[in-house]
């Protein structure tokens, strides 16, 4: 891969990362409700999932999955259910959101791993990411692309995505902002959880329409 193609990949991946959607809603919700570390690792997990999709797409695996309607429906259903679960959990946190965040600091390993898992799964269960990479990689990947080039594409996509979402989490939980957020913990939980729940319902409706 030449330097021009790599810069094109960087630009496209960045534009894809900053596009609002369920992933951004999840990272924002986790960062504001469960704390800075949880939001950051959610972003890192999401970046790992994006990198995996990039590698699979470049290797031609994702096209096989997209062409299989049953696989697409299964991924979309799982993704919607995951978003719905996280939305419901956020709604039920209420006033205890930031208190719970402080308790997590005493036993961070398991909660932070869960944050990584949520970020990873929300990207893995989003087949639209495969469609996105199929669209852009058709202009970058060639039949001569070897494993090293595919690896570079995957790592590049993962790093850009993880840095963006981790940066969003860090910005939202900065010292100047966190005080305002803590004073409005219940409202933030209700808005974040409600937004995620609405996204889940919207996605599930789309799945049902596909089946019918």
Tens-place pLDDT, residues 77-132 = 887 888 788 788 777 765 444 444 444 444 455 578 899 999 999 998 887 788 78
At 176 the pLDDT is: 66
Give CA 156 to chain center in angstroms. Answer: 16
pLDDT of residue 3 exceeding 60: yes
Q: How far, CA to CA in Å, does 118 sit from each of 11, 81, 85, 163?
A: 26, 12, 11, 17
C-beta of residue 100 within 8 angstroms of C-beta of residue 35: no
**Of 2 and 6, which is predicted with more confidence?**
6
Most confident of 29-43, 50-64, 158-172: 158-172
Quote the CA–CA distance of 107 and 178 in Å, as a whole number: 21
C-beta of residue 170 within 8 angstroms of C-beta of residue 68: no
**Of 192 and 183, which is predicted with more confidence?**
192
**Of 3 and 63, which is predicted with more confidence?**
3
Read off the pTM: 0.76
pLDDT of residue 170 exceeding 70: yes
Structural Rg of the chain based on CA atoms: 18
Quote the CA–CA distance of 130 and 1 in Å, as a whole number: 21
C-beta of residue 188 within 8 angstroms of C-beta of residue 181: yes
């Amino acid at each position: 891969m030449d330097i021009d193609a790599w810069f094109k990949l960087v630009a496209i991946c960045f534009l894809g990362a900053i596009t609002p959607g369920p992933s951004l809603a999840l990272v924002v919700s986790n960062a504001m409700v469960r704390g800075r570390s949880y939001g950051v690792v959610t972003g890192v997990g999401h970046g790992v999932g994006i990198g995996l999709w990039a590698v699979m797409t470049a290797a031609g695996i994702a096209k096989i999955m997209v062409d299989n309607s049953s696989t697409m429906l299964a991924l979309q259903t799982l993704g919607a259910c995951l978003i719905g679960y996280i939305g419901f959990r956020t709604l039920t946190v209420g006033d205890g959101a930031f208190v719970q965040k402080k308790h997590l600091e005493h036993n961070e390993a398991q909660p932070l791993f869960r944050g990584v898992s949520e970020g990873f799964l929300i990207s893995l269960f989003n087949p639209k990411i495969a469609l996105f990479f199929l669209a852009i990689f058709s202009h970058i990947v060639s039949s001569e692309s070897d494993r090293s080039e595919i690896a570079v594409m995957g790592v590049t996509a993962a790093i850009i995505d993880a840095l963006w979402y981790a940066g969003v989490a860090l910005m939202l939980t900065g010292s100047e902002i966190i005080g305002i957020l803590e004073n409005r913990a219940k409202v933030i939980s209700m808005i974040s959880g409600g937004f995620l729940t609405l996204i889940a319902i919207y996605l599930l409706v789309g799945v049902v329409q596909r089946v019918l």
